A and B are shown apart, each in its own frame.
Chain A
Amino acid sequence: MSTETDMRPILLVEDNPVDLDLTLRAFKRRNFANPIEVARDGQEVLEMVPRWVAGEPLPLVILLDLKLPRVSGLEVLQQLRDTPVSQSVPVVVLTSSDEDGDVQAAYRLRANSYIVKPVNFEKFMDVATQIELYWCLINHPPS
């Protein structure tokens, strides 16, 4: 592992176009160095797994919404954790829900972090900054 910044992509799983757009804008405004891949629902994420198995680079971190069409975020998380290749990829749940039940379920499925999306856009941008700062620069992910 080099000491340089790890340039693997961040995988953003988000179905809501407004939230997706605002998130990407927020990252863009903070001059994110890492490329951002987007999955629009859970199924898309699961379809990536065979590619990772084939050798494509794993994402540096997965930002996962819970309320997703087709396959829910908690199901995706379970599949990722049940699959050897993706077992150790950091997953940050990024959702509107601050329900106890959701928080507990996510952590039970070994989510690495749980972040409630603020409604206030300024706070939301702060969150994006903090995520990048932590997961892409400070955190040392498994390779």
Chain B
Amino acid sequence: MSAVLRVAARTPPGMAKVKRQREAHLVGGKARAWLLAILAVLAVFATEQVIERLASDRALERERNGVLDQLATLRARLEGGINANIYLARGLTAVLAAQPGLDQAGFSAIARGLVNEGSALRLVAGAPDLVVSLMYPMAGNESVVGLDYRSHPTQRDAALRARESGRTVVAGPLPLIQGGLGIIVREPVFLPAEGGVMAPRFWGLVSAVIDADKLYLQAGLKDPASGLRLALRGTDGSGVQGPVFFGEASIFASRPVTLDVPLPSGSWRLAAEPVAGWGRGGSGEGDLIRLMGIVAAAVGGLLVFGLVRRTQAVASHGARVEALLNTVPDLIWMKDPGGAFLGCNPCFEQFFGVRDEDIIGRRAEHFLSGKQAAAGISVSRGIDEWISYDRDGNERVFEAINTPVTGAGGNLIGILGVARDITERKRGETELRRQHAILDRTSRLARVGGWELDVAGMRVSWTDETARIHGLEPTPGVTVSQWLTLFQEASRRIIAQALKDAVEQGKPYDLELELAVDRGRARYVRTIGFPVAENDKVVRIEGAIQDISARRAAEARAQQGELVLDSVFEALPDMFFLLEKDGTIRDYRARRGTLYMSPERFLGKRMVECLPHEVATRIEAGIAALADGAAPVVVEYELPVPGGTRYYEARLSSLPGGAKCIAVVRDMTDRVLALAELDSQRRESAFLADVIERSSQPVAVGLPNGAMGRCNQAFLDLVGYTREEIAAIDWERDLTPAHWLPREREALATLHATGRPVRYEKEYIRKDGRLVPIEIYVDIVRGMDGVAEAYFGFVTDITERRRADAALRESEARYRQLFENNPAPMLVYERGSLRLLAVNSAFVEHYGYSRGEALKMLLTDLYPEAERPRIVEMASKLSGLAYAGEWQHLRKDGSVIIIEARSHDIDYRGHVGRVAVINDITGRKHLEEQIRALNADLESRVEARTRELEVANKELETFTYSVSHDLKAPLRGIDGYSRLLLEDHRDQLNDEGRLFLENVHRGVLQMNRLIEDLLAYSRMERRALQGEPVSLAEQIERVLDERRAEIEAQGMRIEVAVDGLVPKGDREGIAMVIRNLVDNAIKFTKGVASPCLSLRGHQTEDRITLEIADNGIGFEMRFHDRIFEIFQRLQRAEDYPGTGVGLAIVRKAMLRMGGRVRAQSAPGEGATFYLEFPR
């Protein structure tokens, strides 16, 4: 509080008469001048900064800040206007909560005070249970009575929202039935809990309709003097997303300054831009007007307070008053005239920590104690400040009022006291005062003075500083007319007009003016005036004044410089940044629209905070690399932008002193892209030139004068000149044979005439004189003037093509001849249609159709009717060379022939066709039939013969089987009995008798051997021989083992050399063969000196030969064949006993095994048998 006192002490005397009541409410009237001073100080500070930053700050930003200030003021006014009306509606709500049964007359009586000419409130209505039944004014609004919100299409949602949320809902603006636009405030009314109902009960809605136009007017939104174009959006509190309902929607689309206007539910968005567009002067009215909005809101609150007070008269006593009292956050009490408490609300009890039974019927000093008792209970009749202490001893400041309550007869029932806790508000004010004290001191330093103009007295009271600013010694004040003389003439007229407007229209002002010349020095001041009205009449103007001469001088200088700079920077494509050494961006200059991001995002920040990390670190590294006074560092970088990448080049240079540096940033995107494009084009044309040079296609340029231009290697190769030589020739004279010149000139004439490239064939004369046929494709290159500059030609050597053409023609002729003269009938038909395209002479001759007839036929016409569908199907499947099989064909005379056909795809004169070669096999088929018949006959005969053979074989088997048994049994008998005779009756036989029996015995053995050999031979015939690999060595070993006794007895030498030979045959068969030949050798080497037997094998690719050689008596080769025949013997039996079957068995076995046997011998020279086995 001491700060407040000190403020008061320094307050000029003229301000002392401001009412105490106002002082309690808002910043005191005495302080008003100081408030303005504060603002001025703030302005000074701002100005100081402006000056300090002149080199860097920009007009636009200043302007935006100015607009923002203005807009804040407007917002405050608008908010205040709405809130005042909301408070009114809330007052009604309180009434209805206390008197839920209020009738229309009562409602009108209350509402009449709210809705009047000066108020923006047009209509208030009560809707118990959401049906409108209470209305003020009724006139003109009768139709609204009975409206049921629940079924109303447009108001239903807002109404239900108010009920559901229990909070105020602001709807609109929306067109009213009664005309104009209205903003509707809906307040839900809840009845306090009573009886058994525990929860507050919903009564209905109170609606207040605010005239939107009036609200806008009062808020100053329509004041052209603001210099702003304004717009509002967010119908129904939908904020930034909502539709625009005031002003032009386009304002939102430009770059407006915006502020949100908070509503009890949702918000609006307010946008502004200068009428003249950005970049033109203009300044706000300052926060004073925002304060006005707050004042308006506070006044509204008071009104409600008064309303509540008034309702006491309307309200009957009892529960309903109590209910109202219970809902109010203020302390409310009622005392009888004697000071005893009749009642209080729960708030009161809670604050003092006393229960109501201790309060009712007692005086305050009886139930209060300590600090509370010392403070007492407010008894002020007017609104007054009252300080008390809550139950915990905390100091609380109240705004309190005591009102007498009179009964029906005018008798005093008691005093109603209401106290509202304003502790927090007071604290704010105290703080403000404390700041004032500080500012009081600082204002002197800042050369800011305060003043107040008394309208009635036409006098100005001012602070000492104001006097000093005006160049006077400190005085309490001067008259207005004296004051005006202190201004320079032009300024005097302005301030006079401003004062007149302030007095007559209540318009505040903020002017920069020039004072009358003081000692030849121009002095400038900024002066702010704010009219204060009492009872709608401006009674005084409060204001502040500040010496801004220094600023103006500096500004004038700087502004001039800055204007030049601005235009320079605006003309430069580069951006300039003032950077700290640590990369903080302090300031910038840039042509509009060139910045990568908005200034707010980078000013005062380090680059790493606002640029991509990689870029920022590179630039900061660049800064770090800067040496004082050294050459700039260039950093190139790129930044992503929507739709691509932009390339930048930053030139960093150090400022003198080295603490800061400058970055000159140039957008290199266009250049980078253009360079890239140029590079790509250059590369492409180099590439194309390279391609042409390396191309195998000869390409050359000829100039109209006959000189050769560029040509590639392929062209040089074609004409046989070197690159040097070609430059010296005339393409018309040296390259083209004379007989081709007319053709060439004609073609070039066509090219000139039509402008279209020409293609023609001609010949070139090579350097060696040879002619080479070519095809050339020529186009023309014209200069800017349309004159032919050069021809360029793509040349194709067509020697090979010519040759191929000739070959093709020759080949075609050959093939035609082959077709035409072919002895076999031939035809060509078209695929798909099967139409005959060509037939040859043989066809005509063979089928009897003339060529003309044939070419009108289809392929199917050659076939019998029944075959045709199959032909169509088959013909569609044939491809490549195909054998079409055997078919019946019809000749013209109807006779049927059998043919076989082969066909092949052919491209026949542009038709996709097939050529078929027909072979008439009718005769062959007949012969084949005969052969088949003969073969069938032969087969049946062979079968019959085979059957006969099988029977014979069977008989033979039976025969040999019988022989083996039946011939042997008698032999055994003969031998057995002759032996018995010899043994049992030896005594009765003489020598001759015994000799006979011996002969019988020998005969039996001979007979037995013969039978055995025959059986072996026949078995070789009957046996099923196996064809398995048989080791010769094993079988030889086996046989030699069997014959070991005889071999040893004979002293025979054996040589065996058959290692690894494994012929294919039958194991028993091979053993049998070897055994017989070994026996043979043993037999025929009897009596030979040093008998010898050798068995040697060798193999060739397909056979294995075993040679079995002895050194026996041998035989004459003329008997070669006989020795292998059965029963054939070359020697006498008594010399060489045997059956004559052995070698026959050998031959039989070898034949049966797929091999053969032969022998080589000469008498006395041994014999060699060759056994040849298959492998």
Contact = CB atoms under 8 A, between A and B. Distances in A.
A96 B975 contact: no
Interface in A110-129: 117-122, 124
Contacts of B1019: 99-100
A18 interface: yes
A97 interface: yes
A96 B1008 contact: no
B127 to A, nearest CB: 123
B976 A124 contact: yes
A19 B961 CA distance: 18
B1008 A120 contact: yes
Interface string A93-108: 0011111100000000
A96 to B, nearest CB: 4
A18 B977 CA distance: 9
A121 B965 contact: no
B1004 A122 contact: no
A67 B1004 CA distance: 22
A96 B964 contact: yes
A22 interface: yes
A66 B980 CA distance: 26
A119 B975 contact: yes
A133 B1004 CA distance: 28
A44 B965 CA distance: 22
B1005 interface: yes
A97 B1015 CA distance: 10
A25 interface: yes
Interface string B969-984: 1111101110110000
Name the residue in A18, A118, A124 with the highest tally of chain B Cβ atoms < 10 Å from its Cβ.
A18
A16 interface: yes
A121 B969 CA distance: 11
B107 to A, nearest CB: 134
A119 B972 contact: yes
Contacts of B973: 18-19, 22
Contacts of B970: 18
Interface string B1003-1021: 0110010000001000100
Contacts of A99: 961, 964, 1019
B964 A19 contact: no
Contacts of A25: 976, 980
B968 interface: yes
A97 B961 contact: yes
A98 B973 CA distance: 18
A122 B972 CA distance: 10
A73 B1005 CA distance: 27
Name the residue in A22, A118, A119 with the highest tally of chain B Cβ atoms < 10 Å from its Cβ.
A119
Interface in B979-1003: 979-980
A115 to B, nearest CB: 13
Nearest to A16: B969
Contacts of A18: 969-970, 972-973, 976
B1067 to A, nearest CB: 13
A65 to B, nearest CB: 9
A25 to B, nearest CB: 7
B1075 to A, nearest CB: 16
Interface residues of A, number: 19
Given A19-B969, A124-B976, A119 B1004 contact: yes
Contacts of A95: 965
A100 B973 CA distance: 24
B976 A96 contact: no
B964 A119 contact: no
A16 B965 CA distance: 11
Contacts of A121: 972, 975-976, 979-980
Interface string A66-104: 010000000000000000000000000001111110000
B972 A97 contact: no
Name the residue in A16, A121, A122 with the highest tally of chain B Cβ atoms < 10 Å from its Cβ.
A121
B972 A19 contact: yes
A17 B606 CA distance: 141
Contacts of B975: 119-121
A98 B360 CA distance: 154
A120 B976 CA distance: 7
Nearest to B1004: A119
Contacts of B1005: 119-120
Nearest to A118: B972
Contacts of B1015: 98
B525 to A, nearest CB: 149
Nearest to A98: B964
A19 B965 CA distance: 12
Interface in B951-965: 961, 964-965
Contacts of A97: 961, 964-965
Interface in A1-38: 16, 18-19, 22, 25
A121 B961 CA distance: 22
A16 B971 CA distance: 13
Contacts of B972: 18-19, 22, 96, 117-119, 121, 124
Contacts of B1008: 119-120
A124 B975 CA distance: 10
B1020 to A, nearest CB: 12
Contacts of A124: 972, 976
A67 B964 CA distance: 11
B216 to A, nearest CB: 131
A40 to B, nearest CB: 15
Contact of A122 (B961, B968, B979): B979
A117 B969 CA distance: 9
Contacts of A19: 969, 972-973
Nearest to B960: A99
B976 A67 contact: no
A82 to B, nearest CB: 25
Nearest to B979: A121
B590 to A, nearest CB: 119
Please name the 3 residue pairs, one residue from A and one from B, whose CB atoms are nearest each other, closest first.
Answer: A18-B973, A121-B976, A121-B979
Given A67-B965, A96-B965, A99-B1019, 18 more contacts: A18-B970, A18-B973, A18-B976, A19-B973, A22-B973, A22-B977, A25-B980, A96-B972, A97-B961, A97-B965, A98-B1015, A99-B961, A100-B1019, A119-B972, A119-B1005, A121-B980, A124-B972, A124-B976
9 contacts: A18-B972, A67-B965, A96-B965, A96-B972, A97-B965, A99-B961, A118-B972, A119-B968, A121-B979
